[in-house]
Amino acid sequence: MGAVTGQPYEACFRDLFAIAYRVGYRILGDRSQAEDVAAEACARAYARWKTVSGHSEPWVARVAGNLALDEVRRLTRWRRRESALHERDLGGDPHRAERLDLQQALQRLSKRQREVLIMRYVADMSERDVAETLGCSVGTVKSTASRAMALVRAGLTAGEEVRNDA
């Protein structure tokens, strides 16, 4: 991991912003929203720097993932209201339908499963780093990730069947 314990926030900001942006963009698929998520995650890290500096990268990844999912929830509620007007509009993003399915699948997971998947696969953290951050064993990270991925795959497959029937 790039940030070193004892480093001032300013020395770590670029790495932290990059991690938070990557997590936000992979979940939301929108550069502007990802920048907002990254900025908020970094602001929260700055406010808590004394307590998070020793594990700032995984902390920021987790916060960015939670912020991005909060945004997904907010947008999902808005989209439900607007869907009656624009049911088939994909907004020019060819992957939007798949991203929405992924977002919905992530929302169905437990908090721990979501955290593991976001840190492991969205933030590209190692199993050891995820285990250290969450205070569990590498084996627990592996089994949680495996179960969570199975649930996500099942949710995505169910979404494909619904879309193919339409």
Kindly report the CATH number assigned to the domain that includes residue 57: 1.20.140
Domain for residue 3, yes or no? no
Least confident among 35-39, 138-142, 150-154: 150-154
Domain for residue 140, yes or no? yes
What's the whole-number mean pLDDT along residues 62-66? 92
Domain for residue 40, yes or no? yes
- CB-based contact 68:20 (threshold 8 Å): no
Domain for residue 38, yes or no? yes
Instruction: Give the three-state DSSP class for 126.
Output: coil
DSSP letters for 28-92: H--HHHHHHHHHHHHHHHHHTHHHHGGGHHHHHHHHHHHHHHHHHHHHHHHHHHHHTT-TT--TT
In the chain, the number of structural domains is 1
Cα separations in angstroms, 113 against 17, 22, 91, 129, 144: 24, 19, 30, 15, 6
Domain for residue 53, yes or no? yes
Q: What is the per-residue pLDDT for 79?
A: 59
Q: What is the per-residue pLDDT for 155?
A: 75
Domain for residue 63, yes or no? yes
Q: What is the per-residue pLDDT for 153?
A: 83
Q: Which of 5 and 118 is assigned the larger pLDDT?
A: 118
Q: What is the per-residue pLDDT for 154?
A: 82
Among candidate residues 114, 102, 133, 93, the one with its CA nearest the CA of residue 26: 102
Domain for residue 32, yes or no? yes
- CB-based contact 65:122 (threshold 8 Å): yes
User: How far apart are the C-alpha atoms of 140 and 112, rounded to whole Å?
Assistant: 11
Domain for residue 161, yes or no? yes
Residues 6+ away with beta carbon under 8 Å from 59: 45, 52, 133
Print burial letters for 108-124: b (CB count within 10 Å at least 16), e (below 16).
ebeeebbbbbbbbebbe
Per the structure, the complete domain to which residue 58 belongs is given by 9-165
